[in-house]
Amino acid sequence: MNSSSPQDSPDVLGAAWVGALAQGLQVPADGALSAQAAQSIKARIMQRIAVTPVEPSPDSTAQVQSILRDEGWVSLGKKIQVKVLHDDGTTLSWLLRLLPGGRLPEHDHADGKEECMVLEGTLMINGQQFVGGDYQIAHPGSVHYEVASSEGALVFLKSPSARRKSLAPA
């Protein structure tokens, strides 16, 4: 069974596009275009898109920040590594890598909520096992008594920017 909708197809324009095109083309009020007229319009649009070069703006590199897989890791202990991805002064996005046998000390979330998604491996949080794709949100005031991985784990976290000071190397 195919679960894709017509809007998922690159050959179908969405209703908003069709409406805007019909208005611009002064289509009859009932919106009825012959199949041939619709195909002709679409062909002209697609041809125009294909031949219109898009020049990158001179400052386009300033609009994108990339951090590659092996860049930016900082060791916080023998089996714990972190990488800050982005910090806007309010929210911190970061990665935590626990090597096999890695364990975090008990900590609370007094400074705000912390979202956690396991990307790879397995992670034990307060006695519950999490695997790739599992998610947890620790609300303000909650405590992580145990965060450990026997086989290793890669975890994405989003927390208050204030947490960054605790990510400094020991």
Q: Is the pTM of this model over 0.85?
A: no
Radius of gyration of the chain (CA): 25
Give the three-state DSSP class for 17: helix
DSSP label at residue 37 = H
List Cβ neighbours of 1 (8 Å cut-off, separation of 6 or more). none
pLDDT digits (tens, 9 = 90+) for 45-60: 666 656 555 566 666 6
Q: What pLDDT sits at residue 127?
A: 94
Is the pLDDT reported for residue 89 higher than 50? yes
pLDDT at 33: 63
3-state helix, strand, coil in the chain (%, to 5): 25, 35, 40
The residue with tokens 């289509």 is 27
- pLDDT score recorded for residue 102: 96
Domains of the chain with CATH codes: 6-51 (no CATH), 74-167 (2.60.120.10)
The tens digit of pLDDT for each residue in 6-46 reads 445 455 556 666 666 555 555 555 656 677 776 776 666 66
Of 61, 60, 82, the closest CA to residue 73 belongs to 82
Q: Write the pLDDT tens digit of every residue in 97-118.
A: 999 999 998 889 988 999 999 9
Model confidence over 117-160: pLDDT tens digits?
999 999 999 999 999 999 999 999 999 999 999 999 999 999 99
- Report the C-alpha gap between 44 and 2 in whole angstroms: 29
Overall average pLDDT of the 71-77 stretch: 90
User: What secondary structure letter does DSSP report for 142?
Assistant: -
Q: Is the Cα dihedral 49, 55, 59, 62 positive or negative?
A: positive
Identify the pLDDT of residue 106: 87
Which amino acid, one-letter code, is at 134?
D
Q: Is the dihedral of CA 43, 30, 34, 24 positive or negative?
A: negative
Strand partners for 96 = 82, 155
Report, as an integer, the average pLDDT of 81-108.
93
